[in-house]
Amino acid sequence: MASFVAFSEIVGITLRQLMGRRRTVWLLLLAALPVLLAVLFRAAGRTEIDSYSRIVFDTIAITILMPLVAILFGSGAFGAEIDDGTIVYLLAKPVPRWLVVLAKAISVMAVSIALAGGSTALAGAIELGPIGEDGLKAAAAQVLGVVVGSVCYASLFLAVSLFTRRALVIGVGYMLVWEGALSFMLPGIANLSIRQYALGAANAIYPLPVQESRLSSDTAFILAAVLVAVTLALAVWRLMRFELPGGSD
Amino acid sequence: MQATPLTGPAAAPIEAGPLAIELRNVARWYGNVVAVNDVSFGLGPGVTGLLGPNGAGKTTLLHMLAGFLAPSAGEVLVLGRSPHRDPGVYRQIGLVPEREAVYAFLTGLEYVRFNARLQGLRDADGAALDAIRRVGLEDAMDRPIGTYSKGMRQRAKVAGALVHDPQVLLLDEPFNGMDPRQRIAMMDLLGQMAEAGRTILFSSHILEEVERVGTQILVMVAGRLAASGDFHAIRALMTDRPHMITIRSSDDRKLAAALMTNPAVFAVELTPDGCSVQTAQLGAFRRLIAGASRTAGVRITEVFSEDESLEKVFEYLVRR
């Protein structure tokens, strides 16, 4: 019971922290972009799975929106508290460190999924809904891909933020260099690509006509689960060894 | 605190009997920089002031006691157990950190309730209200902390730290930003907690803060324990040390001759700045100076001390 109370308190305060920042407004605007494009597609009478999936889902939702949202929230959940020193109010409590990490991770995943997944779902419903069963399956596949990708990104950059204060920079670098360039040029690193996990997961529902999907659905789910488990375990390990600086005194 | 005897540098013995806080030959270094060097002491219930200039190692010491830093050498025990990597110890420890930041978006009451719930208190709401009342923050408890003054934020931090009625309360510069009335109220609160058997250790670099609330003090200088024990004994040591005082007057030579006849003065020198006097009895010297100037028929225009800063006092303690 006490653990549940502590868990819900940490989730509550983390959600308020994450949503109360100005950058959330910018992320909301970014999240509105797929919806706006879906409306334009629909208005232009282009209700088709292929081009919508390539342009809106592949180019925007899974390549820009999903990673950016999860990296920003993931790196900020601990990072902001470490930067301003308020982390001490959380850690000077008889709460197991795994519970702190779990609560933070769930919070970050929830807001990331709500924003990126919600946007993808709404856009898919607008554009693909009228197509019928295939359209609905494609929309559901896209949402599943964004959910899996968000969970992976959130876990990874939550952990990174406990090792370095440059988690955000590293995250954006990872998104642009690793996922944006290297994973296209070097097919061998598909096993280490969150984008590939997301695409593989989406294919479990519907074979989306996007550029490269190199992993089977099973492999994608397993690798995503391994990534989340390893990064959260690392986060717990790191938080247990967290030290405050000595200060000027 | 049951008295740890007044001692010189690095020689404070650990007293016998039940101790809430024990440090045995504790050191902490960062690379080549030694922040805390071979410190040993023991504290039981009561209020103890941790006094020292900036950079003395007070915060490092408090962070080790709070379990947020491992000692590089030696042993730190709080209530008989090492606080490092042991979250369970926080049921009995309250910590007020030096950094000012508190969750600005929470109201004072929400912040204290957050602390109470993470402590697993059964009646978190009641405990939070009680803690808010104890620090006198009722009127502002429904306002976001972001709108608080520095002193109010300090009080909110203290309320959050004592909401679970800890056995050991560690406070890093707790009076920063408080106005005199708030300081006195906070000092009285700490005194009440000490009377109830709690062990309270607070750091400060201001002697007068320690004077009112801490009957026992630990003096840290450059990472070492320079002195520990009864406040008044150490205060006397500080006051009765040799003082260098410079006086400017209408006739420095006549004033110097008059002062030399007084036993409180053991050296007088005429300098371009005026009449430089050395005394080991500052209080007695202050009392005699007016009479001496009258007797000599001299008008005093300025009196200043060149070694009154706390750093100078600490340097003197270290030399002893």
Tell me which chain A residue has its CA closest to the CA of residue B84. A241
In terms of domains, do B210 and B312 share one?
Answer: no
pLDDT at B2: 41
CB contact under 8 A, B63 and A244: yes
In terms of domains, do B125 and B183 share one?
Answer: yes
Average pLDDT on B22-45 reads 92
Average pLDDT on B228-255 reads 79
pTM of the model: 0.82
Alpha carbon distance B285, A129 (integer Å): 94
- The encoded tokens of residue A117 equal 């997944």
ipTM of the complex: 0.87
CB count in 10 Å sphere of residue A180 = 15
Domain assignment present for B269: yes
DSSP character string of chain A:
-HHHHHHHHHHHHHHHHHHTSHHHHHHHHHHHHHHHHHHHHHHTT---HHHHIIIIIIIIIIIIIHHHHHHHHHHHHHHHHHHHSTHHHHHSSS--HHHHHHHHHHHHHHHHIIIIIHHHHHHHHHHTGGG-HHHHHHHHHHHHHHHHHHHHHHHHHHHHHHH-TTHHHHHHHIIIIIIIIIHHH-GGGGGG-HHHHHHHHHHTT-----S---S-HHHHHHHHHHHHHHHHHHHHHHHHT--------
CB count in 10 Å sphere of residue B289 = 22
pLDDT at B238: 67
For residue B253, the one-letter residue type is R
Min Cα distance A2 → chain B (Å) is 5
Indicate the residue among B197, B229, B261 that finishes a domain: B229
Domain assignment present for B13: no
Phi and psi at B154, nearest 5°, equal -60, -40
In terms of domains, do B43 and B155 share one?
Answer: yes
CATH number at residue B100: 3.40.50.300
% helix / strand / coil in chain B, to the nearest 5?
40, 30, 35
In terms of domains, do B244 and B214 share one?
Answer: no
CB contact under 8 A, B98 and A240: no
For A74-83, B163-172, B302-311, which range has the lowest pLDDT when averaged over its residues?
Answer: B302-311
CB contact under 8 A, B87 and A93: yes
CB contact under 8 A, A249 and B205: yes
**Pick from A10, A88, A95: which is nearest to B95 by CB?**
A88
pLDDT at B14: 39
Alpha carbon distance A91, A162 (integer Å): 13
Tally the residues of chain B: 320
Give the pLDDT confidence of A96-131 residue by residue, as tens digits. 999 999 999 999 999 999 999 999 999 999 988 778
In terms of domains, do B210 and B258 share one?
Answer: no
In total, how many domains does chain B have? 2
Does B31 touch chain A if contact means CB atoms closer than 8 Å?
Answer: no
Domain assignment present for B170: yes
In terms of domains, do B210 and B268 share one?
Answer: no
Alpha carbon distance A96, A84 (integer Å): 22
In terms of domains, do B187 and B305 share one?
Answer: no
pLDDT at B97: 93
Does B63 touch chain A if contact means CB atoms closer than 8 Å?
Answer: yes
Give whichever of A143-147, B171-175, B211-215 has the largest mean pLDDT.
Answer: A143-147
Contacts of B205 in chain A (CB under 8 A): 249
- Average pLDDT in chain A: 90
Indicate the residue among B195, B229, B263 that finishes a domain: B229
pLDDT at A249: 54
Does B103 touch chain A if contact means CB atoms closer than 8 Å?
Answer: yes
Tally the residues of chain A: 249
**Pick from A16, A240, A247: which is nearest to B105 by CB?**
A16
DSSP 3-state of B285: helix
Structure confidence at residue A198 as a pLDDT band (50, 70, 90): very high
**Pick from B54, B59, B90: which is nearest to A92 by CB?**
B90
Give the pLDDT confidence of B175-186 residue by residue, as tens digits. 888 888 888 888
Domain assignment present for B102: yes
In terms of domains, do B171 and B208 share one?
Answer: yes
CB contact under 8 A, A244 and B69: yes
- Dihedral (C-alpha) B56, B60, B66, B67: value to the nearest 10 degrees? -150
In terms of domains, do B245 and B186 share one?
Answer: no
Q: Is the pLDDT of residue B320 over 80?
A: no
Domain extent listing, chain A: 2-240
Phi and psi at B80, nearest 5°, equal 85, 0
Domain assignment present for B147: yes
Cβ B300 vs Cβ B255: under 8 Å: yes
Q: Which residues contact B60 (CB under 8 A, 6 or more apart)?
A: A246, A247, A249, B28, B35, B36, B69, B223
Give the pLDDT confidence of A211-232 residue by residue, as tens digits. 677 789 999 999 999 999 999 9
Interface of B with A in 9-28 (CB under 8 A): 28
State percent of chain B over pLDDT 90.
Answer: 47
Average pLDDT on B51-71 reads 91
pLDDT at B5: 38
In terms of domains, do B88 and B194 share one?
Answer: yes
pLDDT at B1: 41
In terms of domains, do B217 and B289 share one?
Answer: no
Contacts of B89 in chain A (CB under 8 A): 94
Range of the domain at B223: 21-229
Indicate the residue among B229, B255, B279 that finishes a domain: B229
Contacts of A241 in chain B (CB under 8 A): 85
Exposed e or buried b for every residue in A12-36, given b needs 16+ CB within 10 A? ebbbebbbeeeebeebeebbebbbe
CB contact under 8 A, A85 and B106: no
In terms of domains, do B118 and B198 share one?
Answer: yes
Sheet holding B73-78, edge to edge: B33-43, B21-30, B73-78
